[in-house]
Amino acid sequence: MADVLYFNGRFTTTDERVLGVEDRGFQFGDAVYEVFKFVKHRPAFLFEHFRRMERSLEQLEIENPFTEETFASTMHELIARTSFDDGIVYIQISRGEGRRAHFWPEDLTPTVVAYSRAFVFPDAAKKERGIKVITTDDQRWHFCNVKSVNLLGNAIAKKAAQRAGADEAILLADGFVREGASSNFFAVKNGSLITHPLDESILPGVVRDRVIGLALSSRIRVDERPLRDAELFDLDEAFMTSTTQGVMPISEIDGRIIGNSRRGEVTTELQRLFDELESR
């Protein structure tokens, strides 16, 4: 069954073909996107996703077709029209459609597509078991803080993880750990969190930000510094964060067991606090 689709100001379904072949998102990856979660028809952290989308658009000098209010009302309507209760919304805004040329005309109208998809979020067993990850070189472009649709480096890393029987790839550069191919990375050592600071080499994850806030209010120290790759194999615990996975423990990195192979105490507590916050 087709899902509900929002396209440039109107609602339709995902079986309508809406994009032109000369849309710059399609030809140049000249577009930004967001993914947010909804549970029982209620979106989670909608404002935070809007703010990040606004910043991504600003960086690429693409005009934001939404205000905070029109974004909220459009996304609420999209979810209200959706036939299932729980899922994700994918929204993409490209610079627009125009005769193919690297330099873009100034007068393009951004193309907006947004649609809902049913999604199976991790169950209690998976949240306890955690995931296996591999490490791989970060081959992405230089502005990973922009949530652009240039995801080829991420997709190649993720495919390598899948081929190795793992769920996620941790991206390394110059001997340091950055983030996952589609998640942020956290290490736990001596009761403190270590995670890469916000700069151009990682995405400012919505869940990352919330988890740091929760840690600080629980008096868990947070060290925002790049972790050396050699430190990866001397951790007490490790976890990743993302909209679809929440706080997800990491049980193995490159086949080596982290901690005592069971979900660690700090991870368990932050997972509990985050799930509680998200469902509020």
d(Cα 84, Cα 184) in Å, to the nearest integer?
A: 28
Q: Say which DSSP state 267 is in.
A: H
Sign of the torsion angle spanned by Cα atoms 96, 65, 32, 105: positive
Q: Rounded to 5 degrees, what angle do the CA atoms 63, 67, 71 make? A: 105
Q: Does 205 bind ligand PLP (CB under 6 A)?
A: yes
Q: Is 207 an interacting residue with respect to ligand PLP (CB under 6 A)?
A: yes
Q: What is the dihedral of CA 146, 151, 157, 162, to 10 degrees?
A: 120
Helical segments of the chain, H only: 24-28, 46-60, 68-81, 124-129, 152-163, 206-217, 265-278
Q: Supply the minimum distance, in Å, between the C-beta of residue 179 and ligand PLP.
A: 5
Nearer to ligand PLP, 199 or 234 (CB): 199
By CB under 6 A, the residues from 69 to 108 that bind ligand PLP are: none
Q: Minimum Å distance from CB 189 to ligand PLP?
A: 21
**183 vs 271, beta carbon nearer ligand PLP:** 183
Distance in Å, CB of 178 to ligand PLP, minimum: 9
Binding residue for ligand PLP (CB under 6 A) from 208, 264, 266, 270?
208
CB nearer ligand PLP, residue 27 or residue 145: 145
Tell me which of 37, 147, 158, 189 is the catalytic residue: 147
The helix or strand, by DSSP H or E, that contains position 93, with its residue range, turns out to be strand 87-94
φ and ψ at 24, to 5 degrees? -70, -20
Using CB under 6 A, which of the segments 116-124, 191-199, 203-211, 252-260 binds ligand PLP? 203-211
CB of 186 to ligand PLP, least distance (A): 11
CB of 115 to ligand PLP, least distance (A): 16
Contact set for ligand PLP, span 170-189 (CB under 6 A): 179, 182-184
Count of Cβ atoms closer than 10 Å to residue 4 Cβ? 20
Give counts: helices (H), strands (E), the chain: 7, 16
The CB-side HSE value for 14 (13 A sphere, CA atoms) comes to 15
- 210-249 mask for ligand PLP (x: CB under 6 A)? -------------------------------xxx------
The dihedral over CA atoms of 147, 153, 158, 159, expressed in degrees to the nearest 10, equals 140
Piece of the chain touching ligand PLP by CB under 6 A; list 21-29, 89-97, 127-135, 198-206? 198-206
Per CB under 6 A, the segment of 69-77, 101-109, 204-212, 231-239 that binds ligand PLP is 204-212
Active site residue 127: no
d(CA 239, CA 206) in angstroms, rounded, equals 15
Minimum distance, C-beta of residue 33 to ligand PLP, in the bound complex (Å): 9
Q: With the CA atoms of 200, 203, 204 and 208 taken in that order, what torsion angle do they form, in degrees rounded to the nearest 10?
A: -130
By CB under 6 A, what part of segment 32-71 binds ligand PLP?
Answer: 35
Just list the catalytic residues: 147
Which residues bind to ligand PLP, rule: CB under 6 A? Answer: 35, 154, 179, 182-184, 203, 205-208, 241-243
